[in-house]
């Protein structure tokens, strides 16, 4: 009974705290409070706490050390504040503890499952989340945003995994037009060989982190290329492909954008190597076919194709990695040779850069193979507390994967228009203008008979590492980094040919081009008043975010915050998994 | 009781009259009967008649003055006979009367609604219509023809409207292949500004009537072009677009052909200007986003984006129009400069022209941007009482919008084959040939066991201003102008590359190319007999229509009937609305 | 009672025999056993046997003369063993007998219907078939293979027929991606004219056998080309097309690959000539339209368009054929002139050829019009007892039609994965490896919690003349000729651009390119052991099939077995119909 009581109070306090949080909009920054940090650390390291107890301990810490208001003067870079304790990260830490605490695989697994159960509960009772739900921004209502949990395991093993996004159109009919595109993530542990596979899709890979080698077999030829963070490379449908994650400490993480070549739009993987799970394609042919094909008796064939019990991710020795890396084709890297190998996004100057963010981009001019897919690849790095100005792509559909940090986005969606959420502001203004309108137009009532013109629903969603979101062409979108983390997204934009990013605010706001008279007619006010609003924003593309103080970045901080390679593997371990 | 009785008789007489009409096929030409005209005029101008009374009055006139037989000698041009009293036109006049009778908007609206209710009833009891239904040519059975009523309002206001055709495939599965195309109509009153909008579709616009200016914002650039009747211009998906209807008396009417770029195939409009209905996209972002994006407090933003109560169609002063027209980019008009601006169909010689019709055409050679859409735009002007020879497009699907006049079309459709309507002629002939066949082939009964080969259903439909019809590739079609009005259609033909119009009758009948022996084998008769039929028609492309007397056009009439710009605004007011 | 008893025994024996057959895999070769041949001949020629009795008689023969083991020394070419008695061929012979026995058409039809009923039953009780069903290889489970019976009659007459495959996606959702492709077969008797038709599809035709002339009408022009076995020609959507089958004894057989241009994906035929069935398109227009279009009274039009009672296939006199053939455009044949006319696959050297098979191929370099469709046409002739090595197409979907012989195929299919059939071999090996694995990895149980990676279902099917099968891109496939007949397939491969055939066994096995270390990692064994398996097969592309004795083809047989034209019309009559 006492226990129950305690829990109720706990939840109530949690809720209050969440409400407070969402009202002030300033996100708690626990790691800065040394007492809170210490408290949390104690919970985690307590030798006799199980997962449930650990969580209750952490909750208590959070209550006892409520975060102070956000101090804009402290201007923190993304690196330092990464360990902010959102439920995802607490889950990640919990999992990490499992791996440290137990040496046996079975026990590790059990422990991790418990972590997930525990924090899944917390995630759903997360006040931030509940606030969002009240606003009608639950993921289910949102056709364009796919949380990390929408990625299902295609392959999963001790040494790595492949996760694939559900087919887009199965979430929403609005996405039928991109049914043959897909997003997948590959994560390979340090010093791991990913066995040969081909699939029925063209693939654009972005190296999120780590380093290694990619080898493709095609036209009877073998080509190997070294890969590292920031690299983009394209593999053709049907090419046999294998990888090495060669770093000693850091995982190799690839974000893949796939355009299926198949009859169904779904992507299939065909593994060639000698394992049972994933099954080698060879194992599926009849015995007599294999005997005839290889011209050897079946027992020798079986001994080859059933041996690799590790599956698709195989531990490699240092010698094997060194040997395989040696084959890598040199001279193929941009900008020194022909751009046949990977192209590194960070090697080219960003196409937009200011103190609020940087935009890197590669198109078919930079990397010929992107032209085959009519694709543009871009990486937006929005500094903490900043945002990208509202804009739309004139032709492209954009597939974005958040690779670092967190924040939120708003997409305007004409297809799921609802009148509810729009009401408040419209009504407020309606009252102001009531009088003025009545003077000019008597039959307010009659007007109600008119057909309603288009309205837009605001699709708003929290995004963090591993979130995938889609922005259809023409749809205005805005992306905002959280106050304490840079938001980095890798974007794959299809129909790149003749596409244009059109900005609706900032110095390059397209509407600033309206003639004086057009402004007057469109806004029913003097052009001077319109200009006063349109010209107030002096920045373009990347802007200070909501609530940000202007002077924050004026203290001459180093500009070295974007695009740099962070090699701190232990830190990456702390990040929520993809 | 007496009233009911009267109505029954009325309906009966109406039916008799309709039956008579459909039998003689000669369309009544009421306006020529001065007594009838006077009678009708009296009904309309009666100061105390309400709509219902007015209609009954008109019905009575029509009964008392049954139209005489059609006099072919009178050979009237399209202009003079436009006021023929089909129910649609009576509805248009009724609406016009509303606007004249009432000065207050609310009363006008009420009056117009009553008009619609009244004439909707008449339309359904229209004998012409009933005749068509008996022939199985109701619109519901007809997958390829969309009456004016299938266009729904996207935007509607006092000063103009935008109407969009229902999604094609929602009418019939046969149209699934064109799900991402759409047709829409924009009508703007004289001296009206159409506020900035972008949409997720490439758009080909044809100026049906009126004049004005179109401005597009793209790549940070503004381009304005003057437009007038006959102009074709293309706007790219995502471009911000606004228009001026600059004429003092005539409306600006655009027929738009849209190829959606969106994920669903549906076209969405995104309005930028400061109105509530249609909603400005800006109004849908969160307040904090807008404050950050514009760097001004929210009340100033609201005052800009909520002011334009007129919506998308805004009254413009003469000075504003003059000023905006002045920005129009000069030198861009075909054939004097580079063809970057609109292309006027009437500035190029028609590709076919004879006394029965004219065919104007523009393809990517004339106007480069049509090549992006692989499109051909053509305008067929079929003279009253004439027809276009049966033909098909080898590759193109044709989207046609009737812009003037009326008539009917027949499309042969293999997908909706029915045996019924085909029966009569087949049976008649079968009796003639019975004997001959029995000589050559005894087992007539047995033959019935054979699989039935393909048969075609004749899709026949009355078309008039505002009707949209689709002709799939390969499907033979014929278009016939009514006896007293030219039939003008603007056609958008997709898959234009390598397309060919192939004629099945007339001097360029493709089958005239058959070798002598092939004719004999195909028709089982002497080649001489086949040639006698194939060679009898000396004209090509445009032919005299059914029932037309050959000598009718031989009196040396002026050829200035097609493609001329009619500036009579009051006349256009009398036309049925689109 | 006695009868029932007898039948049961018969069926039991049949089953036993079937089981024996399927175990030894050596297919019975009845024609070699002179006693059996005689016995069967007697059954068929018995003057008083009806179909049912004939069948029972044949069954008895087969029991009394069980076939001996297959003698590899006898190495028969495809020609000599064509009359092997599979149920399809027995049906064909039965039909032939009908035509010989009865002179009246009606009786012939009745007789043939009886044949079909009789042998349909046998086909389902065919032990070979039952064996297949036990293996889960029934056609219904198999999305990619379409037996002859899936082709339905579009046109059927005494002198020829057109058969069209059901729409692909109606069989399986897996084929939605090829919904606008189709396969059809046209068979025209000797000396037959196929009347003019156009359809809403681009068409690639392969001449399976026979000779004749094809004429197309397009752009007001007529072009005729002689055609013969091995010719490939392309006709554009909308072209009017007609054919002559000019041989005196042999039928003209075309395999057509169609890419629909229509809105639905379905192909429609529009016949122009003067027949009722198929209906001439002219007959569907209204009478008044036709009168106006042709400018002649309706009775003369009717007399032209209703006369050809023979329908689409019309008997032609020798003079007519000679005359029509004379128009054939000369100088257009590859390699002497511009390749505008048909291209003959056999005129170019095969791209792969060894004693086990030949592969002929034409792409857009050889025949420009194939480029329009992004198509590659190839003909694989696999010698009896041989196979094509396991391979996949990197981008192309392959549509294959078996034109001669029989055999079986295996396609690996990831979409219809089932665990059942895979079990046996996997389990066997698991036992061998049990010990080794336990040493290295204790938590076998725990591993079961992991997600299952991809597995493949083996789709295996018997194929013979008239079978159509589809191989999606990336899907490994193997094709094996039966032991006594060459297997010839004509393949239409779409998405030909940048496509590559990638082989998984044989000297050009793509995996032989793996580096030494990659082999070790992928197969978890020494590279030496892997090479021992990969290098054992010295042949490439075409290999000796399962169970084939190596020395069989070493006796210096003539190589003239492939691609030769067999003119033996009576033999072709004995073949199962398409």
DSSP string, C76-87: --TTTTTT---H
- pLDDT tens track for C259-305: 998 888 888 999 988 777 788 889 889 999 999 999 999 889 888 88
* Other CB atoms within 10 Å distance of the CB of residue B158: 17
- Say how many Å lie between the first and final Cα of chain C, rounded: 40
CA C525 to chain A, closest CA, distance in angstroms equals 7
Q: According to the model, what pLDDT value does residue B74 have?
A: 35
d(CA B361, CA B482): 23
Q: According to the model, what pLDDT value does residue C274 have?
A: 76
* Other CB atoms within 10 Å distance of the CB of residue B262: 22
The pair phi, psi for residue C13, each rounded to 5°, is: -65, -45
- The pair of structure tokens assigned to C80 is 């000599």
Across the range C170-176, mean pLDDT stands at 79
Q: Which of B460, B475, B248, A437 is closest to C288 using CA atoms?
A: B460
Contact residues for C335 (Cβ-Cβ < 8 A; gap 6+): C347
Q: According to the model, what pLDDT value does residue A402 have?
A: 97
> Which range is least confidently modeled, B214-223, B546-555, C132-141?
C132-141
CA A511, A351, A165 angle in degrees (round to 5)? 90
A513: contact with B, CB 8 A cutoff:
yes
A303: contact with C, CB 8 A cutoff:
yes
Return the partners of chain B (3 or more C-beta pairs < 8 Å). A, C
- The pair of structure tokens assigned to C289 is 């339209």
Dihedral (C-alpha) A276, A279, A284, A285: value to the nearest 10 degrees? -90
- Residue in A with minimal Cα distance to B291: A546
**CB spacing of B453 vs C277 below 8 angstroms:** yes
Q: According to the model, what pLDDT value does residue A290 have?
A: 94
**Alpha helices, H only, B151-267:** 168-171
Count of A–C CB contacts within 8 Å?
255
- Confirm whether C144-273+308-347 and C352-442+455-504 share one CATH topology: yes
d(CA B62, CA B66): 6
* Other CB atoms within 10 Å distance of the CB of residue B221: 9
Which contiguous run of DSSP H or E holds residue B524?
none
- Residue C564: HSE in the Cβ half-sphere, 13 Å Cα cutoff: 12
The pair phi, psi for residue C379, each rounded to 5°, is: -125, 120
CA B55 to chain A, closest CA, distance in angstroms equals 25
Q: According to the model, what pLDDT value does residue A43 have?
A: 66
DSSP state of B452: P
CA A248 to chain B, closest CA, distance in angstroms equals 43
Lookup result for tokens 């128009």: C327
Chain B residues 27-66 with CB within 8 Å of chain C: none
Q: Which of B298, A59, B505 is closest to C296 using CA atoms?
A: B505
**CB spacing of C473 vs A106 below 8 angstroms:** no
User: Whats the size of chain B, residue-wise?
Assistant: 578
CB A160 within 8 A of CB A188: yes
CATH number, span C144-273+308-347: 2.60.120.10
**Alpha helices, H only, C102-176:** 105-125, 127-134, 168-171
Q: According to the model, what pLDDT value does residue B305 have?
A: 86
Q: Which of C161, C263, C270, C260 is closest to C217 using CA atoms?
A: C270
* Other CB atoms within 10 Å distance of the CB of residue B439: 8
CB C261 within 8 A of CB B473: yes
Q: According to the model, what pLDDT value does residue A55 have?
A: 66
Q: According to the model, what pLDDT value does residue B38 have?
A: 66
Chain C residues 107-166 with CB within 8 Å of chain B: 109, 152-157
More confident residue, A26 or B486: B486
**Mean pLDDT of successive 10-residue segments in chain A (578 residues)?**
52 49 37 61 62 66 53 34 51 67 64 64 41 44 85 90 85 82 96 95 96 92 92 95 95 96 88 82 91 92 85 93 82 45 91 96 90 95 96 96 96 65 40 44 37 76 94 96 95 94 95 93 92 94 82 42 40 49
- pLDDT tens track for B320-342: 999 998 877 654 444 444 446 88
Q: C-alpha C553: how far from its chain's center?
A: 26
Rg (CA), chain C: 27
Q: Which of B105, B263, B310 faces A174 most closely, judged by CB atoms?
A: B263
Domain range list for chain B = 85-120, 144-273+308-347, 352-442+455-504
- Residue C161: HSE in the Cβ half-sphere, 13 Å Cα cutoff: 14
Whole-number Cα distances in Å, B23 to A421, B131, C298: 60, 10, 18
| Test mutation, B397, B407, B453, B545, chain C, max C CBs within 10 A | B453
- The pair of structure tokens assigned to C540 is 């490439």
Q: Is the dihedral of CA A554, A559, A563, A564 positive or negative?
A: negative
Whole-number Cα distances in Å, A376 to A203, A257, C247: 13, 11, 58
Q: According to the model, what pLDDT value does residue C489 have?
A: 97
A78: contact with C, CB 8 A cutoff:
no
The pair phi, psi for residue C164, each rounded to 5°, is: -125, 140
User: Does residue B100 register a pLDDT over 90?
Assistant: no
> Which range is least confidently modeled, A375-379, B352-356, C118-122, C169-173?
C118-122
Q: According to the model, what pLDDT value does residue B87 have?
A: 58
Lookup result for tokens 């994906």: C265
> Which range is least confidently modeled, B189-203, B436-450, C136-150?
B436-450
Q: According to the model, what pLDDT value does residue A49 have?
A: 60
CB A418 within 8 A of CB A460: no
CB C504 within 8 A of CB C390: yes
User: Does residue B23 register a pLDDT over 50?
Assistant: no
Whole-number Cα distances in Å, A242 to A215, A223, A312: 5, 10, 10
More confident residue, C265 or B131: C265
Chain A residues 168-227 with CB within 8 Å of chain B: 173-178
- The pair of structure tokens assigned to A300 is 């020798």
**Alpha helices, H only, B85-220:** 87-101, 105-125, 127-134, 168-171
Q: According to the model, what pLDDT value does residue B308 have?
A: 83
- The pair of structure tokens assigned to B156 is 């509607």
* Other CB atoms within 10 Å distance of the CB of residue B443: 14
Q: DSSP secondary structure string, A44-94? A: HH-TT--HHHHHHHHHHHHHHSPPPPP-GGG---TTTTTT---HHHHHHHH
- The pair of structure tokens assigned to A155 is 């392959």
Tell me, what's the ipTM?
Answer: 0.71
Across the range C108-130, mean pLDDT stands at 54
Chain A residues 231-260 with CB within 8 Å of chain B: none
**CB spacing of C522 vs A308 below 8 angstroms:** yes
Q: Which residues of B touch C299 (CB under 8 A)?
A: none
Q: Which of C400, C383, C577, C565 is closest to C490 using CA atoms?
A: C400
Across the range B353-370, mean pLDDT stands at 93
**CB spacing of B283 vs A393 below 8 angstroms:** no
CB C390 within 8 A of CB A289: yes
Across the range B261-289, mean pLDDT stands at 87
d(CA C174, CA B241): 42
What pTM was computed for the model?
0.74
- Specify which residues B198 forms β-bridges with: B270
- The pair of structure tokens assigned to B272 is 């930028």
CA B434 to chain C, closest CA, distance in angstroms equals 11
Q: Which of A440, A446, A473 faces B200 most closely, judged by CB atoms?
A: A473
CB B361 within 8 A of CB B375: no
Q: Which of B221, B279, B302 faces A453 most closely, judged by CB atoms?
A: B279
> Which range is least confidently modeled, A188-192, B552-556, C111-115?
B552-556
Q: Which residues of A touch C547 (CB under 8 A)?
A: 288, 292
Across the range C423-439, mean pLDDT stands at 42
Instruction: Tell me yes or no: is domain C352-442+455-504 CATH 2.60.120.10.
Output: yes
Exposed/middle/buried for residue B9 (C-beta within 10 Å: 0-12, 13-18, 19+)? exposed
Q: Is the dihedral of CA C62, C68, C72, C75 positive or negative?
A: negative
Q: Which residues of C touch A320 (CB under 8 A)?
A: 517, 520-521
For chain B, percent of residues with pLDDT exceeding 70: 62
For chain C, percent of residues with pLDDT exceeding 90: 45
**CB spacing of B237 vs A506 below 8 angstroms:** no
**CB spacing of A285 vs C476 below 8 angstroms:** yes
Q: According to the model, what pLDDT value does residue A206 have?
A: 97
Q: Which residues of A touch B307 (CB under 8 A)?
A: 433, 523-525
Q: C-alpha A190: how far from its chain's center?
A: 22
Contact residues for B296 (Cβ-Cβ < 8 A; gap 6+): A532, A533, A536
State the SS3 of A99-167.
Answer: HHHCCCHHHHHHHHHHHHHHHHHHHHHCHHHHHHHHCCCCHHHCCCEECHHHEEEEEEECCEEEEEECC
User: Does residue B432 register a pLDDT over 90?
Assistant: no
Count of A–B CB contacts within 8 Å?
256
Q: According to the model, what pLDDT value does residue A150 have?
A: 86
A510: contact with B, CB 8 A cutoff:
yes
CA A16 to chain B, closest CA, distance in angstroms equals 23
* Other CB atoms within 10 Å distance of the CB of residue B119: 22
User: Does residue C113 register a pLDDT over 60?
Assistant: yes
CB C182 within 8 A of CB C165: yes
> Which range is least confidently modeled, A281-295, A362-376, B423-437, C81-95?
B423-437
Q: According to the model, what pLDDT value does residue A28 have?
A: 35
The pair phi, psi for residue B25, each rounded to 5°, is: 60, -10
Q: According to the model, what pLDDT value does residue C419 have?
A: 39
C543: contact with A, CB 8 A cutoff:
yes
CB A437 within 8 A of CB A391: no
Q: Which of A220, A295, A273, A274 is closest to C508 using CA atoms?
A: A220
C515: contact with A, CB 8 A cutoff:
yes
- The pair of structure tokens assigned to A296 is 């050897």
| Test mutation, B357, B411, B446, B474, chain C, max C CBs within 10 A | B474
Q: Which residues of B touch C217 (CB under 8 A)?
A: 510-511, 513-514
Chain C residues 521-540 with CB within 8 Å of chain A: 521-525, 529-530, 532-534, 536-538
CB C412 within 8 A of CB C477: yes
Q: According to the model, what pLDDT value does residue B19 have?
A: 45
CB A283 within 8 A of CB C421: no
User: Does residue B433 register a pLDDT over 90?
Assistant: no
CB A115 within 8 A of CB A98: yes
- The pair of structure tokens assigned to C4 is 């029932």
Lookup result for tokens 């009865």: C102
Give the confidence band of B474 by pLDDT, cuts at 50, 70, 90.
very high
Give the confidence band of C494 by pLDDT, cuts at 50, 70, 90.
very high
């Amino acid at each position: 009974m006492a226990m129950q009581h305690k829990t109720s109070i706990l939840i109530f306090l949690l809720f209050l705290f969440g409400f407070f949080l969402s009202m002030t909009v300033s996100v708690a920054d626990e790691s800065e409070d040394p007492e809170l940090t210490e408290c949390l650390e104690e919970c985690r390291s307590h030798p006799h706490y199980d997962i449930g107890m650990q969580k209750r301990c952490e909750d208590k810490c959070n209550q006892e050390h409520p975060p102070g208001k956000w101090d804009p003067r402290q201007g923190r870079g993304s690196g330092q504040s990464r360990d902010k304790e959102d439920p995802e990260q607490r889950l990640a830490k919990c999992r990490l503890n499992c791996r440290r605490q137990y040496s046996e695989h079975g026990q590790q697994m059990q422990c991790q499952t418990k972590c997930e159960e525990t924090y899944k509960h917390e995630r759903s009772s997360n006040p931030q989340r509940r606030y969002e739900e009240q606003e009608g921004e639950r993921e289910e209502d949102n056709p364009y945003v796919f949380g990390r949990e929408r990625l299902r395991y295609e392959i999963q093993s001790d040494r790595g995994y492949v996760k694939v996004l559900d087919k887009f159109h199965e979430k929403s009919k609005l996405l039928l037009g991109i049914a043959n595109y897909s997003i997948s993530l590959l994560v390979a542990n340090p010093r791991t060989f990913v066995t040969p596979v081909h699939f029925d899709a063209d693939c654009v890979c972005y190296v999120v982190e780590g380093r290694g080698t990619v080898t493709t077999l095609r036209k009877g030829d073998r080509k190997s290329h070294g890969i590292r963070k920031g690299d983009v490379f394209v593999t053709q449908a049907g090419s046999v492909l294998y990888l090495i994650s060669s770093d000693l400490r850091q995982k190799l993480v690839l974000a893949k954008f796939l355009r299926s070549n198949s009859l169904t739009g779904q992507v299939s993987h065909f593994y060639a190597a000698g394992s049972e799970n994933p099954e080698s394609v060879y194992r599926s042919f009849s015995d007599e076919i294999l005997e005839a094909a290889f011209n050897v008796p079946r027992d020798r064939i079986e001994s080859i194709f059933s041996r690799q019990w590790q599956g698709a991710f195989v531990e490699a020795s240092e010698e094997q990695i060194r040997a395989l890396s040696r084959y890598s084709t040199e001279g193929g890297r941009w900008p020194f040779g022909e751009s046949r190998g990977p192209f590194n996004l960070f090697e080219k100057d960003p196409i937009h850069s200011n103190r609020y963010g940087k935009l890197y981009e590669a198109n078919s001019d930079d990397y010929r193979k992107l032209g085959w897919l009519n694709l543009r690849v871009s990486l937006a790095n929005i500094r903490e507390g900043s945002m990208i100005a509202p804009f739309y792509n004139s032709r492209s559909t954009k597939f974005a994967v958040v690779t670092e940090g967190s924040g939120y986005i708003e997409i305007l969606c004409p297809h799921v228009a609802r009148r509810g959420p729009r009401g408040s502001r419209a009504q407020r203004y309606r009252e102001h203008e009531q009088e003025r309108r009545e003077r000019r137009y008597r039959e307010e009532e009659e007007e109600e008979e008119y057909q309603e013109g288009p309205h837009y629903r605001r699709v708003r969603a929290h995004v963090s590492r591993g979130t995938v979101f889609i922005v259809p062409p023409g749809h205005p979108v805005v992306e905002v980094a959280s106050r304490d983390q840079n938001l980095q997204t890798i974007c794959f934009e299809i129909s790149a040919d003749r596409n244009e990013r059109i900005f609706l605010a900032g110095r390059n706001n397209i509407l600033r081009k309206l003639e004086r008279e057009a402004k007057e007619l469109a806004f029913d006010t003097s052009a001077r008043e319109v200009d006063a609003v349109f010209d107030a924003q002096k920045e373009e593309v990347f802007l200070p975010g909501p609530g940000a103080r202007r002077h924050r970045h004026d203290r001459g901080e180093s500009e070295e915050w974007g695009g740099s390679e962070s090699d701190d593997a232990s830190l990456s371990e702390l990040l929520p998994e993809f």
